[in-house]
Amino acid sequence: MERGIAKFVGQGDAILFSSGFGANAGLLRAILGKNDIAYIDSYIHTSATSGLIGTNVKHIGHNDIDYLDMILERETGKYQTRLVIIDGVYSQNGDLSKLPQYIAVCKKHNCLLMMDDAHGIGVMGENGRGTAEYYNCLGQVDIITGTFSKSFGCVGGFVAASEKLIQYLRYYADSNVFSAAMTPQVAASSLKALELIQTQPEIRKKLWTNVNYLRKRLTEEGFDIGCSISAIFPIMVRDNKKVYEIARELQKRCIFVSGITYPAVRTKEARLRVSVLASHETVQLEQLVTALVEIRKSIPF
């Protein structure tokens, strides 16, 4: 599984964890200390920020390459390891990182780049190899992490990087060394999912047909879906209470949509979060749109 996932995402080696959360947190606790710094996009996942307690942290806004370039220039020589942390696909807004620009800026300033591709792997790129494949940048990101809890339909996580870094993590990533490994059943399921992702591209094709259809329909009906270009659709409501009311109304109509409120996002960014699957049929996507239009009449959003 480790060899398979490393090859798939274009890295030298990989190490498995029993969750994606453990992969991000364990990796970062192992490689960054008080003389190092993490430059983080404001929308990275909590699993990454939770690994940064013992190191220096600087927020670099969202996809703000010019600011990153400026700050890396200004802080040259101030820290030992400098690591920029981004997501491939952002988990709440469904938008993409500007990966090629990040690669260029990190190279220019001799800084490492880590990309959490939890929502990119299996979905992005011609062969589902993730955001790096989508941008034709395979092999150019220092560290890629991910989870098996999204497109793989299982649980577990991984860090993929150079053989040397992975060897280091086999000794120092606490959430791997001091926690139970994923069970054989889960490893076998994840391995099967990896095989299906590689051998059945029609599943991914269907997913993208669904994504494009739903984006078009939600936009036509005037819903605010932000900058989403992936299978994650935020439908902005901007009111915590209304989010739960709408989610409940949808559930009454047999549609499961997560409500995302504070503290996952700021209160004024409260939203419904729709995740589109390859197994959805057009008629189901239409049911969602019709239900939202109907609910909007009694709960304006």
Q: Which residues bind ligand PLP (CB under 6 A)?
A: 19-21, 24, 45, 47, 87, 91, 116, 118-119, 147, 149, 157
User: Which is catalytic among the residues 18, 47, 91, 189?
Assistant: 91
If the CB atoms of residues 8 and 21 are measured against ligand PLP, the closer one turns out to be 21
Residue 293 CB, nearest approach to ligand PLP (Å): 29
Contact status, residue 199 vs residue 261, Cβ threshold 8 Å: no
Residue 33 CB, nearest approach to ligand PLP (Å): 22
- Asked if 119 is an active-site residue, the reply is yes
If the CB atoms of residues 45 and 129 are measured against ligand PLP, the closer one turns out to be 45
User: Which is catalytic among the residues 19, 45, 97, 119?
Assistant: 119
- Asked if 150 is an active-site residue, the reply is yes
Contact status, residue 131 vs residue 117, Cβ threshold 8 Å: yes
Side chain identity at 48, as an amino acid letter? Answer: A
Residue nearest to ligand PLP as judged by C-beta position: 20
Residue 21 CB, nearest approach to ligand PLP (Å): 3
- Asked if 91 is an active-site residue, the reply is yes
If the CB atoms of residues 122 and 292 are measured against ligand PLP, the closer one turns out to be 122
Distance (Å, whole) CA 174 – CA 30: 7
The answer to whether the Cα torsion of 144, 146, 152, 154 is positive or negative is positive
Which ranges of 9-98 does DSSP label H, i.e. alpha helix?
Answer: 20-31, 46-49, 65-74
User: Which residue, 18, 258, 44, 41, is CA-closest to 149?
Assistant: 18
Neighbours of 243 (CB within 10 A): 25
Give kind and range of the element (H or E) at residue 286.
Answer: helix 282-298
User: Which is catalytic among the residues 45, 150, 242, 280?
Assistant: 150
If the CB atoms of residues 29 and 217 are measured against ligand PLP, the closer one turns out to be 29
Side chain identity at 223, as an amino acid letter? Answer: F
For the beta sheet containing 13-17, the strands, ordered from the edge strand earlier in sequence to the opposite edge, are 13-17, 157-161, 143-147, 112-116, 82-87, 37-40, 56-59
Residue 42 CB, nearest approach to ligand PLP (Å): 13
Residue 151 CB, nearest approach to ligand PLP (Å): 12
Contact status, residue 230 vs residue 298, Cβ threshold 8 Å: no
Report residue 207: phi and psi, to 5°: -55, -50
If the CB atoms of residues 36 and 87 are measured against ligand PLP, the closer one turns out to be 87
Residues with a known catalytic role: 91, 119, 150
